[in-house]
Chains A and B, each alone.
Chain A
Amino acid sequence: MTKRLFMKGNEALAMAAIEAGCRYYFGYPITPQSDIPEYMARELPRLGGEFVQAESEVASINMLLGASATGARAMTSSSSPGISLKQEGISYMAGAELPGVIVNICRSGPGLGGIDASQADYFQAVKGGGHGGYHIIVLAPSSVQEMYDLTMLAFDLSDLYRIPAMILGDSVVGQMKESFVPHPRPLRDLPPKEWVVRGREKGEQRVVKSLYLGDGELEAHNWKLHARYAELKEKEVRREEFMLDDAELIVTAFGSAARIARSAVMAARDKGLKVGLLRPITLFPFPEKAFRAATQRCRKVLAIELNAGQMVEDVRLSVARDAEVFFYGRPPGAGSLPTPEELLVQIEKYC
């Protein structure tokens, strides 16, 4: 039996990246994710890998782009302001169909904001944060176990679909310690990377690029990318359903907010209120069908987020017609993390 460990979420994530075969890490210090580069700086050299502390977030995402173009599994991590800087590179990676894992241990904003847990980067993550109209895979862990499991999944999905993948966490899941089981990497059939640059001695010229100037070329390229996003929506949606079967109110939340929401749902059940939780694990692809199916029967949804209302827009687009969608959230900052008791008050309003 695999033994159970007790570690910080950020360290579990770094450990999972290495288990997934990531040997190249490029990053820049920023709170609350610096445990990740520190872990990689310590562990990668003895594994024959490379750790580079880059001059900026702009440089580190481009180092990821370069390493990924050779076919290597590589990762970068940062927190909100640093992720803004990476958006240029993420857009280029999306355009050039390059895999790669980007970790955002979110902090509150806008601007320098604060270092408190925040989900205010939801829009940036799921709508394509850079220019040009693309999507990346976005996974939202809500426990240290998921920091581990979803990081490993991120590498596989990213390679399989040739789309950058993001882990969207925050300081709650990043900084807290929790026990988890570090499963070995699950075996998954992945296609050979026949697109990597490797030198002409291995065959015909290969070019990794996002520039398409010929008549109709760029449109065709975009349709190809969008067909892959549609395939993701078909095949790779993940969500958790908790006490939904007889629910008369569906509470929905992701990541660390879902932990607090779950406690509130359980407290509501203790009071005899029929409340369930629908937790998106993949934020892109969003569990549209799950929301539609659940709201065919239960017509009320309460979305709870650590922001002023972002995922709730995707919930509204996904629910069955006539379903009512309510929202509770607070812009993040010191002292604005809601308690289960506060959420229970909100739940009771709609029951």
Chain B
Amino acid sequence: MKQVFQKPVSLKDVQTHFCPGCHHGTYHRLVAEAMDEFGVQGRTIGVASVGCSVFLYSYFDIDVVEAPHGRAPAVATGVKRARPDAFVFTYQGDGDLAAIGTAEIIHAANRGEDITVIFVNNTTYGMTGGQMAPTTLVGQRTSTSPFGRNAAKDGSPIRMAELLSQLEGVAFSARVAVNNPRNLMDAKKQIRKAFRYQAEGKGFSFIEALSSCPTNWGMDPLAANARVGTEMCGYFPLGVFKDTANFHAG
């Protein structure tokens, strides 16, 4: 019988530590599928960040360098400069990338480093127990915004995909979700494109991946999945914010 569906080769055959209903596992799979498709697993060097995504090397069957909190784009810069033939990506959460690592992401993007960044935005610090993140929605209750995020004092959530799209070095910037089959298929397409741009040496490519966090949102997996569509997509619209292919064509 012909096998029509299988686990990506770039993923290990292990259970993840992610909570039920978390979207990290789905994104891991999409990234691994893109890696398989481009045949880059063998020359990929992944850069893990600090947070729920730190165990990248436990799930991806690739070489990995662990970066300090927020510094993955700087570590990836060092890796890629020394090994321009390698396929290099970082996988970071919202606290890591949009708070403590803001300088590193902006400048790696602005230099147009030929790397891909997968940015998982779940509006909270997952690993440390659900504190307020730079992407926490206004009014959202977290353990450090017990009365809800107050825009007047805490600022408003940062839209990273749009922000980075303003920089000349960025070849591709998109926001995706996996809360329904249609979005998932589109997410797969955009991740593939981000990888293709690196393979073609076009410059920095960025995927903001909206994710649920049932545990820290205090929701069951279904309700958390629904929240991605009902609350997050309103403030964080899905779409492509920069695509140099279109830019040049237009």
Contacts and interface: CB of A to CB of B under 8 A. Distances in A.
Decide if A and B are genuine partners: yes
Interface stretch (A9-17, A59-67, A151-159, A230-238): A59-67
Contacts of A55: 103-104, 106-107
Contacts of A207: 57, 63-66
Contacts of B41: 200-201
A70 interface: yes
A197 B79 contact: yes
Given A52-B81, A62-B68, A70-B83, A205 B62 contact: yes
B167 interface: no
B71 interface: yes
A197 B78 contact: no
Q: Which of B61, B68, B82, B107 has its CB near the most chain A CB atoms (within 10 A)?
A: B82
A219 to B, nearest CB: 19
A66 B68 CA distance: 11
Contact of B65 (A50, A59, A197, A205): A197
Interface stretch (B18-26, B43-51, B218-226): B43-51
Interface in A37-73: 50, 52, 54-56, 58-60, 62-72
Interface in B67-104: 67-68, 71, 74-83, 86, 103-104
Contacts of A67: 78-79, 81-82
Given A88-B68, A199-B42, A66 B78 contact: yes
Contacts of A206: 63
A99 to B, nearest CB: 13
A254 B74 CA distance: 34
B68 A63 contact: no
B68 A69 contact: no
A325 B104 CA distance: 47
Interface in B31-61: 41-45, 47-48, 54, 57, 61
B65 A24 contact: no
Nearest to A201: B42
Nearest to A88: B68
B117 to A, nearest CB: 14
A269 interface: no
B113 to A, nearest CB: 9
Interface in A106-156: none
A54 B63 contact: no
A24 B78 contact: yes
B52 to A, nearest CB: 13
A11 to B, nearest CB: 23
Contact of B103 (A24, A56, A65): A56
Interface in A208-240: 208-211
A92 interface: yes
Interface of A: 24, 26, 50, 52, 54-56, 58-60, 62-72, 74, 88-89, 92, 96, 197-202, 205-211
11 contacts: A58-B104, A62-B67, A66-B78, A66-B80, A66-B82, A67-B82, A72-B83, A197-B63, A197-B65, A199-B43, A199-B62
Given A54-B107, A59-B71, A65-B75, 18 more contacts: A24-B82, A50-B81, A60-B74, A62-B75, A65-B71, A69-B78, A70-B79, A70-B82, A197-B65, A198-B45, A198-B63, A199-B43, A205-B61, A205-B62, A207-B57, A208-B66, A209-B66, A211-B54
